[in-house]
Each structure stands twice: as C-alpha cells, then as structure tokens.
Amino acid sequence: MATQDDTTPAERLRLLQLEFITPRRRGPAASRSTRPTEPAAPLDIDTVDHVQGSVAEVVALTRAAAPDAGPRPASVEGLYGWWRENTAHLEPEKQQHREAVIYRHGLEHALMLGERKVIRRHPCPGCGTWGLFWNQALQRALCVNRYCKDASGGSSTWTLSHLAQEHVNRKEKSARRAT
C-alpha cells in the first residue's frame, strides 16, 4: 500500500468509499466484500456525502469544460484521470485550475480519513513558516506564528482552496525553472 506522502487524491477517494460504503446496499452484483466480515458500523453519512459531493463536483466541472465527455468512469479511482483526459486540450491556466481542484480534493479526502498532518506540509501563505494546522471548527488551516495576523488582528487562516492553489503555483514555478 502507498505511503501517505504519495497517496493520490484518487486513491484516497477509493479508500473513503471502501471504508464506509457497505457493498451490500448495492445489490448482489456489487456484493464482493473487501473485508472478511461486514463492517459493524452504520453507514457514515458524512463520508457518503463527501464522496458523492466530490464525484458530483468533478463531473460538473468536466461537463462544463468538455460537454462531449463520455460517461464518467464506473469506479471513483478513474475519476480524476477522466477529467484530465477530457480537458487536456484546454489552455494551461485552466489546466492549472483543474490541478488545484484535484489537489484540494486530495486534502479534503485526507482530512476525511483523519490525516490532519497533510496540512503541515504546506508553508503558511502569509508568513512562509511551517506552522499551519487544521482547525476543524473553522474548516480552515490556522497559522501558529503569533506575528502572522489577519486584517482584524486574529490568527491568519486559510482555506483548502487557497493552499491548493499555492501548492500548484509552486509546482508550476519549479517545473518552469527546471526546463
């Protein structure tokens, strides 16, 4: 199994689906179980919502950019590849935006799986230090640097979208430097 550091958004989405969506609800055709026993826990509604919401967002964005895209892949694992394939002709900025959404999904899936430390791998967009941590109540990453404040004097906080966009921009810049 992949380590957490190189787990892709697609793999995480599959993990979420495997972990919480019980196959027996989907009829005999999908009754193969990945566990030796049926999970005792009831269906986790938040996780189901999360998986379905993620899939719906990708499908909507793909269809908006590529109305001729064929049916979405049956498995969630193929979802992001399907999006990339169908939008590979778009201009670079649009593709970068797509990558930022995919990266954000990866962060959202990781948080849903309880991997909060994925947030710490990002420098604070405000002060550049490595003191970000996830605040579940705010649904934002918060900087622990006491000199790093927002406009109202509180700790600076960042959305996952913002962190994802910065991450993709950094990658793009280093890719350009390398060529």
Question: Measured between alpha carbons, how far is 69 from 125 in angstroms, rounded to an integer?
Answer: 35
Question: Which residue ranges make up the site for Zn ion (CB under 5 A)?
Answer: 124, 126-127, 143, 145, 148
For residue 140, the SS3 value is strand
Neighbouring residues of 122: CB distance < 8 A, sequence distance ≥ 6? 132, 141, 163, 166, 167
Closest contact distance (angstroms) between CB of 132 and Zn ion is 7
Nearer to Zn ion, 55 or 127 (CB): 127
Nearer to Zn ion, 97 or 162 (CB): 162
Closest contact distance (angstroms) between CB of 155 and Zn ion is 8
Closest contact distance (angstroms) between CB of 161 and Zn ion is 17
Closest CA to 69 of 77, 61, 145: 61
Nearer to Zn ion, 39 or 126 (CB): 126
